[in-house]
Amino acid sequence: MKRIYIIIISILYSFSIYSQGTVLSYEEYIDIVQKNHPLVMQAKLLDEKSDAYKLKAKGQLDPTIGGEYYQKSFDDKNYYRQLDGKLKIPTWYGIDFEAGYEYNDGDFLNEEGTLPVNGLLNAGISVPLGRGLFFDERRRIIEEAKLIAQENTLKQKEIYNKLMFSANKAYINWQLQYNNILVYKRARDISFETFTNTKSAYEEGDKTAMDTLEYKLYLDSRTADILKAEQDYYIATQELNLQLWDDGVIPLELEDDVLPEDINTELWEDTMDIAKLEYREAVNQVTQVKQLEIEGDRLELDKRLFKENLKPTIDVKFNPLLRINDNNRFLAYTTDDFKLGAALYYPIFNRKTKGELKLIDIEQQTLQLEQKNLLQDLRLYVAALYNNLISLEEQLSLAAQNEITAAQLLDAEYIKFNIGESSLFLLNAREQAKLGYELKKLKAIKEILYNKAEFMFVLQTY
């Protein structure tokens, strides 16, 4: 696969200088994800899908034109020629407008098929007076297309929300793994300085060879920590690369000298302030809840249709017949020329429709219970995230204070060590304690940012 690098400053994005590399800021990173990730392209296709469903549904109201032609000739005789052309215009209200032209001739036509020489024109309407007058399958399909469009909008929101959650976690992890390296390197530098001083003291006769060897082990341990941290950072970088694309089709990879920006513990603070105040009500707008509402609307359409089917089918057609005059080709019409028809149908017990309505009632009750359960689960889950965030912020404050205290104790231990009142064991213990508190602080920051990202993910506030 051809590598395409993201650091082409003149084409893509300008990154500020940071340490020995260039910085990919959070805003620049998110901008790339939002504009180029394949899932974003996929979400955009849902708009076209909604339009296609609406177009398909509107086809229920498309006028239709058609005709039939039959001819029989045998033994040099014209038995018959029959032409029947029709135009039908359906409407939203269930009433259909119809028009047609009939032409028949031949030696052996039935009397019913005998028409004027120039044929007959007819026009009229078909009206359902019972079932289908107020609602029918045609209108149900059109209304359902609107619900499908709403569903696709929710799917877009859900796809985008999941993408932002994944992208945010990837960047946060990338930041924290890089900072872990910095912490381990600082610890290694301190250990190296102590090792150098210890070695010089040994050469001057103030320390034993065992002291030098002992601290060499501490130094090697710090180096091993760095190697492990660098491997974790490499993995985090690869996970970040999974989020970076060009036009949704070409994967991008970061150059080795691209670094994350400084950790911002105040990230998303404005969004979080609003979410903290409104999270109990915000769960009502979550896509899972709205999808259940749409499912309820779909059941309501089915219920409305089946209620309509409880009515008898009473269809009435009226078609005035227009004669075409032989001489001037003008149309002639009298009120005595028409076709009238009526059809009545009703199943005596209608148990099928009644059973369908009963099933819909059960599904609606099930849906209501599911919705209440979902809302309660979401409220409790978000409340747990909120309370956990408060706890994590307190832990971060404590970890930051412990880091300061550990640094002060380490400075004091150095003073005691230099005047001979401490040992390498105690000094290493102080260094290890300071390193541990720095890592705990970073871990607390990571958990806080993860918690915020999940909080916004659940409430879909991205």
Give me the pLDDT at residue 427, please.
Answer: 85
301 neighbors 161 (Cβ within 8 angstroms): no
Torsion of CA 278, 283, 286, 291, to 10 degrees: -140
User: Angle CA(280)–CA(282)–CA(285) in degrees, nearest 5?
Assistant: 135
DSSP state of 253: B
| Cβ atoms of residues 220 and 187 within 8 Å | no
pLDDT at 227: 95
Helix (H) or strand (E) run with residue 80 in it: strand 77-90
What class is the 17-57+139-299+360-459 domain?
A: mainly alpha
Identify the CA nearest to 446 among candidates 211, 259, 171. 171
DSSP letter string over 114-181? Answer: ---TT-EEEEEEEEESSTTSS--HHHHHHHHHHHHHHHHHHHHHHHHHHHHHHHHHHHHHHHHHHHHH
Give the pLDDT of the chain (462 residues) as one tens digit per residue.
Answer: 333 333 322 223 333 333 457 999 999 999 999 999 999 999 999 999 999 999 999 999 999 999 999 999 988 888 889 999 999 999 998 899 999 999 999 888 887 778 888 888 999 999 999 999 899 999 999 999 999 999 999 999 999 999 999 999 999 999 999 999 999 999 998 888 877 877 776 677 666 677 778 778 888 888 999 999 999 999 999 999 999 999 888 999 999 899 999 998 888 888 887 777 777 788 899 999 999 999 999 999 999 999 999 999 999 999 888 887 766 566 777 778 888 999 999 999 999 999 999 999 999 999 999 999 999 999 999 999 999 999 999 999 999 999 999 999 999 988 888 787 888 788 888 989 999 999 999 999 999 999 999 999 999 988
| Gyration radius from the chain CA atoms | 40
pTM: 0.83
Dihedral sign for Cα 201, 202, 203, 205, please: positive
**Ranges of each domain in the chain:** 17-57+139-299+360-459, 64-134+312-348
pLDDT at 433 (0 to 100): 92
